[in-house]
Structure formats: C-alpha cells, structure tokens
Structure 1
Amino acid sequence: MRHTFLLEEGTWEAAGDYFDERQQASSWAGQVTISHSADRWRNEGTMKLQDGPELELSNSYEITPFAAGSDFTEWVSRNPALGTLRGVFFIVGDSILSKYASETGEYSGCEYLRQLDEATYENRGFAMKGQAKLSSWSVVLRRR
C-alpha cells in the first residue's frame, strides 16, 4: 500500500480524543489540508475541542519534499502556542513517524500516523514542555 497522507494533496477530516496534562479527556475534531508546490509541501491543520474548555489548536507545516529514494524529510511548523518547531517525518512500513522540538528546546514531542487504508490513518502523539506532559491525542484521519 502506498502512503496517501502527506505524499498526496488532499483534505482530511480528523476526530478523536485529546488528553491534557492531567489526563483529562475531551473530544476534538478538525481538518488537515495537504498541498504541494515544486519546492515545498504544506500541511495546514486546525483542531477544536468539542467539549470541555474552549481550545483550538492550529499548525502550519512547511515540508521539504522527500528526495527520490529517501524515507525521511524535514519540516518546520509555526505554532501560535509553541513557537517555531523543527522536525523530521520518517516512513516506516505502514506508518509515518515524526519527532520534533521547538527552537528554544522548551517543547518537544512525537507522533505517528498508521495507514489503515488509502483513505484512513490513525494518529497518536504527545507533546512535552521540558520534562512535563503538555498533551497527548488519539485521532482518526479520513480523506474527503
């Protein structure tokens, strides 16, 4: 199966669970749009809590396209809450893995996207502030 998230343009609906630093769960939903140009790919996403405290998270990734034959690439995200994040996407079998850290080193995290079929991915991840948990999530992405 070939990967369709990131490697192809498209819009994805996301829904799942968000866990805050105290492990309090809330439902959240949103959308991710992937677009490609010759020298940059973009991943624009917004997630909003459906219950609990009002919270909307947005990310804007600039991704260096994968080089021919490569299974990893770099990305930069400008996150309104965390600042500039720098990370790497790795393709490993049915999954896309990512690790990242803020430019200041204050924030870090990782996530993975496991492909279930061409139109569905499971996404799991966490974010840290220093040695403390900031958040974690469990989301399903479905291509529109």
Structure 2
Amino acid sequence: MNHTFLVDAGRWLLNGYWLEPPQEAIAISGKILVSYGQDDWFSMAAKVTFAEQAKPDLILQSRGKLELDEMMFTYVLQHSLLGRLEGEGWITPHSIVQQFILLGDASRCTGFEHYWQVDANHYTLLSGIYRSHKLKQLLEATLERV
C-alpha cells in the first residue's frame, strides 16, 4: 500500500485525545492541509481544537523537503505551544515516523510523531513531547482524508 498522508497533497480531519498527566484526557479535533510546491518541498498546516476550550488551539506550520527516492525528509516546524522546531522523518512501508527538537531550548525539549497507515484514507497518529527526558504530553488521534 502506498502512503497518501504527507507524500501526497490533501486535506485531513483529525479526531482524538490530548493527554497531559495528571489531568484526564481532553478530546481534540482538527484539520490538516498538506500541499506541494516545486522540487518536492511540502508545506503542512494544522489546527487542533480542544473540547470545551480546555486549552488554546494548537497551530502547526511546517515546511520540508521530501526525497522520495530515499524515503527520508527534513523539516522545520512552527508550533504554537513550543516555538520553532527542527526535525527529520522516515517513511517506512506502513508508517511515517518523525522526531524533532526545540531550537535553543535549555530544557532539551524533543518529541516524536508516528503515523500508522490503516488504509489509503485513514491513519492513526501518536505524538509525544519530552522535556529533560520525561514524557510530558501525548496526542493520540485518527486521521481521515476528506
């Protein structure tokens, strides 16, 4: 099965939960737009809304270069919660895995995202944020292409 998220331009709906112990999970929903420009440069914009306005919306804007023949990519990301991030990713037969680091951060903030392909129109997402080697936040969701 060929990947359709990130590898192809498209619109996606996100539904899931934000976990930040010791609080209970907060329902989230959102939209993701992936677009392509010249020479395999992609842009991804996402907006994630928390149920009952439990937290401010998450706004994510990234830009990266996807080398399809190598199935690896690098990207920069502006994250409304964290700031400016830099990362890399791998595209495997069944998933897309990304890791990132917050630039200029003394607390060593890092994170990951794992997109598992269910079928051509659906993915599951697990994303985590670490601070000083401790897992602080998780986001788990499903993505549906629209």
Runs (5+) with no aligned partner, structure 1: none
* C-alpha deviation, 1:93, in angstroms: 1.6
Q: State the partner residue of 1:49.
A: 50
CA distance change for structure 1 residues 52 and 81 in 2, over 3 Å: closer, same or farther? closer
Aligned partners of 1:23, 1:131: CA distance in 2, in Å? 20
* Root mean square deviation, CA, Å: 1.5
**Given residue 126 of structure 1, which amino acid in structure 2 is its aligned partner?**
G
Q: Which residue of 1 aligns with 2:120?
A: 118
Q: Deviations over 1:102-136 (max 9, x none)?
A: 11243211110000110000001111222333310
Higher helix share: 2
8 A contact 2:86–2:102 mirrored in 1:
yes
Which residues of structure 2 form unaligned runs of 5+? none
TM-score by length of 2: 0.91
1:1-80 pair list within 5 angstroms? 1-39=1-39, 40-51=41-52, 53-66=54-67, 68-80=68-80
Distance 1:21 1:133, change over 3 A: farther
Aligned length: 143
User: 1:61-89 CA deviation, whole Å, 9 max, x = no partner?
Assistant: 101122x4202110100123211101111
CA deviation digits over 1:4-62, x for unaligned, max 9?
A: 00011100000011101425201000000000001421010010111462331111010
Q: Distance in 2 between matches of 1:78 and 1:30?
A: 17
Q: Helix, strand or coil: the match of 2:115?
A: strand
CA separation of 1:79 and 1:52: change in aligned 2, threshold 3 A: closer
State the alpha-carbon separation in 2 of the partners of residues 87 and 26 from structure 1.
Answer: 26
> Is 2:105 the partner of 1:107?
no
Write the distance in 1 (CA, Å) between the matches of 2:124 and 2:80.
25
